[in-house]
Amino acid sequence: MAPPLLVASDHAGFELKEKLKKALDRMGVPYRDMGPATADPVDYPDNAHRLADGIARGEAERGLLVCGSGQGMAMAANRHRGVRAALAADEETARLSREHNDANVLALGGRLVDHDKAERILEVWLATPFAGGRHTGRVAKIDAGSSEVM
């Protein structure tokens, strides 16, 4: 059975990724680390694309990306059909990204959020279901690229 969560970072997000893996262990959330294995410099798009490919292929339902700001990895991941990566800097943004946008990838900035806050953001994001309803059609338009008014 595939893990419900894939995790990846670049060198700037490596330390926070490692701390969040320990938090996932405490929460009992299975995951697969897609790299890197060290804090040696790597290009963030490589690991973001690797994780997003896994989500798009159905290897996992959700993913966690961590780079310096979170923005670069979110941008790279969002190039993949079916991936909805959300950059969250607080719990409310994380909640709304799941509730309204059905975000399936959470991006965090390792240089911008401390470990405790990142863990709270992750917990909220994992616990929040997609609200569906009026949001379902809107989310469908993300991949469709439609601007048609509902």
Catalytic member of 11, 100, 115, 135: 100
- Separation in Å, CA 57 to CA 23, 46, 51, 62, 114: 26, 17, 10, 11, 32
C-alpha closest to that of 18 among 5, 35, 2: 35
Q: Is the N-terminal amide bond of 36 cis, ω within 30° of 0?
A: yes
Q: Where are the beta strands (DSSP E) in the chain?
A: 5-9, 32-33, 62-67, 85-87, 105-109
Angle 81-29-120 from CA coordinates, rounded to 5° = 85
Catalytic member of 11, 49, 67, 80: 67
Q: For this structure, is 11 an active site residue? A: no
Q: Rounded to an integer, what distance in angstroms lies between the CA atom of residue 22 and that of residue 105?
A: 19
**What's phi and psi for 68, nearest 5 deg?**
-55, -50
Catalytic center residues: 67, 100
